[in-house]
Structure 1
Amino acid sequence: MASHQDKGYAAAGRHMRQQPQRSHRFRWLALAVVASLVFVLGLGGFVFLRLQNNVQTAALNLGEKTAELENGALDILVIGSDTRAGANADYGDESDRQSAARSDVMMLVQVSKDRKRITSLSFPRDLMVDIPQCTDTETDTVYPATEDTQINESLSRGGPGCTVATISKITGVNIDHFMLVDFNAVKSLSQVVGGVQVCVTQEIDDSYSGLKLPAGISTVEGEQALSFLRSRHGFGDGSDTGRIQAQQGFMAALLRKVQAEGTLTNPGMLLNIAEAITQNVTVDEGLTNVRTLAGMGAVFGQVDLGKVVFATVPTEPYELDANKLQLSTEASTVFKKLRIDESLIEPAPEPEAASEEESAETPATEEIVYQTLIEVNVLNASGADNREEHIVKLVESLDYSAVSGSESDIEYAASSISYPYGFEAEAQQIAEKLGITAVAPSGVATAIEIIIGTDFAEGDVLGQSATEIAGGATGQTADQVTCQQSFSY
């Protein structure tokens, strides 16, 4: 996206004009952007006017508007553009800058009517959808509707208003506002807050995004934060899904930091954040209203982190190209909940108790005879206080009595179990109980050693969310500390 000194989507002045441009990837975080602007209540009209003059605006919806639903929720589409104009030119070559910009990140953020819940629903950029007819309000250019088109192409059809129209059509949700942000917003904001803590299970050396991180916990800011959010090859299976999960973990960590450090009560810090954001953002006219911004900021600063959900729309491989995605049937459940202002969080079902007959037939149990005599050590390297006490109780529930716990001085990214030769069945039984997959014998071990890493900082089973998300959507809540599955490309 263009800076305010350069042409691009955001032309000088109050409105945007489209120019062909391009980049690789950009993803961004609505929550902190909105939350930071609450400072206007305390700093008065002068500062607000100064910041308001920084902000570019554009038409909200370039297609047919979805019928408004009187549910009282506030719906904001956050868009990251892959353009490389102006200050973003360093992220591509000349061919990148001559290509039409596309939306690289799309998150529909809903604030509930009672302002006590926030849902952020991400749409993968390679999702195949029908894009409606869009009309560029600046040039009167009409872009005809198309079927089975990659969703990120919508931004090149007149600007963010076409992306709004596309996602509104898909979900049936009337979108109240949009925010379009660029690379510099990511760098500036991460620097202003002093960095964001992230966790990866393995060392990352991604030549595509430039991301280099050691295994475990790191604090990223500036260019490194941008690389973390851009990296596609460093996470999961190298698809957009893994990248989105990393973005969600980043956003959750940022929101936790903003709340924990009292950022929203520090006028000086808030002014710096607001300056960083407003110089690199384009919004619809309605979102420049001081009351709207202040009210939204208050919500993000006070909301229960357990009620902030980051989810990804349910998808499946596109039937004509397995490298792309299409909406799965479960997506309709998620969209319906948004339309009626209902939480996506569903309580996790209670595990079904195994019958006595089933328990008796469990092979691992049959092979284990000496549980009460085996020593089990639990090392808490997760960074979560007293985590070892909870894990000790879980292991003791398997009838192991010689179980002890301690805290590590350093944190480990991944949880693991090692065991002395001859005790594989016992180690596997414990691993199955805890959901730990990294299990290996050790020639020097005299006891079963359980290391609880940052990837298992909460819950009873590794990888199991404390809550389930409706419609089979994947994601997390803002209070969950996650460690991203990663690899070097």
Structure 2
Amino acid sequence: MSAESTPDPAIPGPGQSRTTRPGRRGKGRRRKPPGRRRKALLIAAWSAAGIVVLGGTGAGVVLFKLNGNLQSVDIDQVLGTDRPQKADDGSQNILVLGSDTRAGGNEKLGGGADDGTARSDTAMIVHVHKGHEKASVVSIPRDTLIDRPECTDTDGDEHPAANAVMFNSAYSTGGAACAVKTVESVSGLRMDHYLEVDFKGFQQLIDDLGGVDVTTTEAIKDPDSHLDLPAGTHTLDGEQALGLVRTRHGVGDGSDLGRIQLQQAFVKALVDQVKDVGLLGNPKKLYDIADTATKTVTTDSDLGSVNSLMSFATGLKGITPDSMHMVTMPVVYDPADPNRVLLEKAKADQVWTALKNDKPIPKSATEGTATGEAKGVVNAAE
């Protein structure tokens, strides 16, 4: 959802939309961690997104079924060679998008167009540092006014450049390929991988996991996102979790920036808790989660198989919530329109330079920028 009351319509890129299949509030209780770890399958969840580690299975028929669930797009072929160079230091950049297609049952989840079209509701650049034991995550406000480069979608259709348009127009104009090209144009960073999750799959995935424990420091009530949480500790089911990562009117200054702060807090809570979900002795739950996750995610072609995702995840299992540094791309409110934000270029350049050199993002890069005033409203349950 954008910061304006009526979001712009969207046209999904070819191969981007999908039909997904068809979510308790109460006091949370920490689960005891399992005694052993199994192989991991990395899934993008967020707010949009985040990282969910799932136990792997070895049965060939299961892998065949799960491979059939996955959808992928060949970003490299579409974008060609006119792109930033790949890093040669072992670090990686992953663009994680949360899309809100109204197709496949998503129309009941609130917000967005009801004609089956899709928009990028959440965007995060996940920079995995050399050694793969820490990550820097940069959320890109969807309402940022940017200059969108010309791009070609996965069907070969060309889309002209546009000036001073909302960031999320890149996805609605040319799908995944245009979104990646726009992020690379804004940041100067090469996106090594692309992961996309839709709302309905996110909701079902949280339900399959048994909910996520969070503590709210103040009441959150937003009829637009169907969320009504008193202050306290809760185990959020899928519908509530989706409402949380989509709400903006119920917290902070009511902007998309406040919603981003909730999304970042939820991602940390999700990553923290998923390590405690006991899947080793519950094959059915393990399969249900893997089945939902692989139906939910769209990847670049390099990650378009379960084996590739498992291999990718194995290299990231050392990353914990404490080793994730999450910021919002430096922006200021647009004085001409309070529902839009503008890139604060000098500070943003500090972010991109740090990631390009595989360094931590300096505090000076985000000091004095627009925040949304919702930090600390949601935390992982203790």
Q: What TM-score does the superposition give when structure 1 sets the normalisation length?
A: 0.62
Equivalent-residue separation in structure 2 for 1:342 and 1:265 (angstroms): 40
* Residue 50 (structure 1) shift: 1.6
Q: Unaligned regions of 5+ residues in structure 2, if any?
A: 1-10, 19-45
Q: Determine if contact 1:117/1:343 at 8 Å carries over to the other structure.
A: no
- Mapping 1:273-292, distance limit 5 Å: 273-292=289-308
Higher mean displacement: 268-277 or 246-255: 268-277
1:167 aligns with 2:183: yes
Equivalent-residue separation in structure 2 for 1:53 and 1:71 (angstroms): 34
Equivalent-residue separation in structure 1 for 2:92 and 2:110 (angstroms): 35
1:124 maps to what in 2?
141
2:48 maps to what in 1?
28
Structure 2 CA distance for partners of 1:199 and 1:473, relative to 1, 3 Å: farther
1:70 maps to what in 2?
88
* Residue 27 (structure 1) shift: 3.1
Amino acid at match of 1:472: E
* Residue 192 (structure 1) shift: 1.8
1:97 maps to what in 2?
114
Q: What TM-score does the superposition give when structure 2 sets the normalisation length?
A: 0.79
Q: Determine if contact 1:127/1:326 at 8 Å carries over to the other structure.
A: yes
Q: Determine if contact 2:84/2:188 at 8 Å carries over to the other structure.
A: yes
- Mapping 1:415-434, distance limit 5 Å: none
Equivalent-residue separation in structure 1 for 2:318 and 2:276 (angstroms): 11
Equivalent-residue separation in structure 2 for 1:314 and 1:84 (angstroms): 30
2:58 maps to what in 1?
43
Equivalent-residue separation in structure 1 for 2:141 and 2:256 (angstroms): 6
SS in 2 for 1:79: strand
1:246 aligns with 2:140: no
* Post-superposition CA distance 1:442-477 (Å, at most 9, x none): xxxxxxxxxxxxxxxxxxxxxxxxxx58543989xx
* Residue 177 (structure 1) shift: 1.3
* Post-superposition CA distance 1:319-341 (Å, at most 9, x none): 54333111112111111111122
Q: Determine if contact 1:88/1:184 at 8 Å carries over to the other structure.
A: yes
1:332 aligns with 2:370: no
Q: Determine if contact 2:74/2:301 at 8 Å carries over to the other structure.
A: yes
Equivalent-residue separation in structure 2 for 1:234 and 1:10 (angstroms): 32
Q: Determine if contact 1:57/1:283 at 8 Å carries over to the other structure.
A: yes
Amino acid at match of 2:101: T
- Mapping 1:309-348, distance limit 5 Å: 309-328=325-344, 329-344=346-361
Q: Determine if contact 1:259/1:301 at 8 Å carries over to the other structure.
A: no
1:437 maps to what in 2?
none
Equivalent-residue separation in structure 1 for 2:204 and 2:17 (angstroms): 25
* Residue 179 (structure 1) shift: 1.3
1:483 maps to what in 2?
377
State which structure, 1 or 2, has the greater radius of gyration over its C-alpha atoms.
1
SS in 2 for 1:341: coil
1:210 aligns with 2:105: no
* Post-superposition CA distance 1:199-222 (Å, at most 9, x none): 223222211111011112211012
Equivalent-residue separation in structure 2 for 1:75 and 1:263 (angstroms): 29
Equivalent-residue separation in structure 1 for 2:302 and 2:187 (angstroms): 21
1:302 maps to what in 2?
318
Structure 2 CA distance for partners of 1:289 and 1:276, relative to 1, 3 Å: closer
Structure 2 CA distance for partners of 1:98 and 1:113, relative to 1, 3 Å: same
Amino acid at match of 1:50: K
SS in 1 for 2:275: helix
Amino acid at match of 2:69: N
> 1:226 is matched with which residue: 236, 242, 260?
242
Q: Determine if contact 1:197/1:217 at 8 Å carries over to the other structure.
A: yes
Structure 2 CA distance for partners of 1:291 and 1:71, relative to 1, 3 Å: farther
Structure 2 CA distance for partners of 1:10 and 1:162, relative to 1, 3 Å: closer
1:460 maps to what in 2?
none
* Residue 163 (structure 1) shift: 0.6
CA RMSD of aligned residues (A): 3.1
* Residue 81 (structure 1) shift: 1.4
1:134 maps to what in 2?
151
SS in 1 for 2:332: strand
2:171 maps to what in 1?
155
Structure number with the bigger relative contact order (C-alpha 8 A, sep ≥ 6) is 2
1:52 maps to what in 2?
67
Equivalent-residue separation in structure 1 for 2:282 and 2:360 (angstroms): 31
Amino acid at match of 1:237: D
Q: Unaligned regions of 5+ residues in structure 1, if any?
A: 1-7, 19-25, 347-467, 476-480
1:193 maps to what in 2?
209
Amino acid at match of 1:30: G
Equivalent-residue separation in structure 2 for 1:473 and 1:67 (angstroms): 31
Amino acid at match of 2:142: R
Q: Determine if contact 2:103/2:116 at 8 Å carries over to the other structure.
A: no
* Residue 150 (structure 1) shift: 0.3
* Residue 195 (structure 1) shift: 1.0
* Residue 86 (structure 1) shift: 2.0
Q: Determine if contact 2:198/2:296 at 8 Å carries over to the other structure.
A: yes
Higher mean displacement: 299-308 or 334-343: 299-308
1:83 maps to what in 2?
101
* Post-superposition CA distance 1:320-366 (Å, at most 9, x none): 4333111112111111111122223x6xxxxxxxxxxxxxxxxxxxx
Equivalent-residue separation in structure 2 for 1:260 and 1:341 (angstroms): 30
* Residue 124 (structure 1) shift: 0.7
Amino acid at match of 2:160: P
Higher mean displacement: 180-189 or 205-214: 180-189
Q: Determine if contact 1:183/1:226 at 8 Å carries over to the other structure.
A: yes
* Residue 105 (structure 1) shift: 0.3
Percent identity (aligned): 34
